[in-house]
Amino acid sequence: MAPKEVVLKGIRTALVVGSILTLINQWQAIFGDEAMRWPAFFLTYLVPYTVFVYSYHTNKHKHVRPTEADKPEDRAQL
């Protein structure tokens, strides 16, 4: 589970990115006479949120400092 601040930043990111992509992809449905593509509409917001939270979890493990047992041996001593 992601921390609360990550969830909130993910929602904020999804709202900004999703709104821009919705305007681009659904322009005729919003301002014209075409029908709204609802599955695409929901995915347009879901994908940026999912990518944000996934990136958080992926990068969280990369920034953990290694312990002494995890550090490679000093090659200069060979």
Q: What is the pLDDT of residues 30-64, one digit of tens each?
A: 999 999 999 999 999 999 999 999 999 898 877 66
Q: Is residue 71 part of a domain?
A: no
Q: Is residue 10 part of a domain?
A: yes
Measure the CA–CA gap between 65 and 69, rounded to whole angstroms: 11
Q: Which residue has the tokens 């493990």?
A: 61
- 74 conformational bin, left if phi > 0, alpha if psi -120 to 50, beta if neither: beta
Q: Is residue 20 part of a domain?
A: yes
Range of the domain at 8: 4-60
Q: Model-level pTM greater than 0.85?
A: no
What's the burial of 51, exposed, middle or buried (CB within 10 Å: 0-12/13-18/19+)? middle
Q: Which residue has the tokens 């006479």?
A: 33
What contacts 46, CB < 8 A, 6 or more positions away? 14
What percent of the chain has pLDDT above 90? 68
Q: How many domains, the chain?
A: 1
